[in-house]
């Protein structure tokens, strides 16, 4: 039985000349190398919640900062809890704690980083919640900046006292 490839009796057309596969680049259509992409504005209406330009970049940077600060906070919170448990269970006095932290670059650095991450993470998170609840972006921005400033001042004051 004839294979599917050769059935001349049923094919009124003259047999086509088989074209040998060409080497890449030879005769093939020129590959432009860049993806064929339409700008989003060409096919989609602007997303209602999406800002354009600077606003959009700011939102993306804040999202990035939120995630990065979360990554910093996760181990620091565990460390902080560990420190608290250790200090309380060991019955360390305030003087003993200060004796260990005063002048310590390590503790100062770790808690300084903790304060920075907390201020960033907390304020961006509060901003997101306020934007969603109040639908007043300016109010959310102001409140978030105030929160960040307060967290930074109180946090670094504590770090300075301890180290």
Partner 1 sequence: MADLVVNVWRGEGFETFRVPFLESQTVLDVVTWIQRHLDPTLSYRFACRVGMCGSCAMTVNGVPRWTCRTHVSKVAKDGRLEIRPLRNMPVIKDLAVDMAGFFDKWQEAGGRFVPTRPGVLEFARVDPENPERRQASAGIECIGCGVCYSACDVVAANPDYLGPAALNRAWTLVNDARDGDRIGHLAAVADDAGCHACHSQGSCARHCPNHLNPTGAIAGLKREVFRALLKGDL
Contact positions toward partner 1, by CB under 8 A?
A: 28-38, 40, 43-45, 47-51, 56, 59-60, 63-64, 67, 128, 131-132
CA 2/CA 142 separation, integer angstroms: 81
Tell me the closest approach of the beta carbon of residue 138 to partner 1, in angstroms. 15
Tell me the closest approach of the beta carbon of residue 39 to partner 1, in angstroms. 8
Q: What is the Cα 16 distance to its own chain's centre?
A: 57
Tell me the closest approach of the beta carbon of residue 14 to partner 1, in angstroms. 25
CA 45/CA 116 separation, integer angstroms: 39
DSSP state, 10? G
Q: Residue 82 contacts by C-beta under 8 Å, 6 or more apart in sequence?
A: none
Tell me the closest approach of the beta carbon of residue 109 to partner 1, in angstroms. 24
CA 40/CA 49 separation, integer angstroms: 15
Which lies closer to partner 1 via its Cβ, residue 124 or residue 159? 124
Quick check: 132 and 88 in contact, CB under 8 A? no
Quick check: 119 and 151 in contact, CB under 8 A? yes
Which lies closer to partner 1 via its Cβ, residue 45 or residue 90? 45
Which lies closer to partner 1 via its Cβ, residue 30 or residue 54? 30
Tell me the closest approach of the beta carbon of residue 51 to partner 1, in angstroms. 7
Which lies closer to partner 1 via its Cβ, residue 3 or residue 27? 27
Which lies closer to partner 1 via its Cβ, residue 11 or residue 47? 47
Q: Residue 7 contacts by C-beta under 8 Å, 6 or more apart in sequence?
A: none
């Amino acid at each position: 039985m004839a294979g599917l490839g050769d059935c001349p009796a049923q094919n009124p057309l003259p047999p086509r000349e088989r074209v040998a596969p060409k080497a890449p680049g030879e005769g093939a259509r020129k590959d432009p190398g860049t993806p064929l992409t339409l700008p989003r504005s060409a096919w989609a209406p602007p997303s209602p919640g999406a800002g354009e330009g600077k606003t959009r970049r700011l939102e993306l940077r804040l999202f990035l900062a939120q995630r990065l600060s979360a990554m910093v906070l996760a181990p620091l919170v565990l460390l902080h809890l560990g420190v608290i448990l250790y200090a309380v269970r060991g019955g360390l006095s305030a003087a003993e704690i200060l004796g260990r932290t005063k002048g310590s670059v390590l503790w100062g650095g770790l808690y300084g980083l903790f304060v920075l991450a907390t201020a960033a993470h907390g304020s961006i998170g509060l901003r997101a919640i306020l934007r969603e609840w109040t639908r007043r972006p300016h109010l959310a921005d102001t409140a978030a900046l105030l929160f960040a400033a307060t967290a930074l001042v109180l946090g670094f004051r504590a770090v300075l006292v301890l180290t």
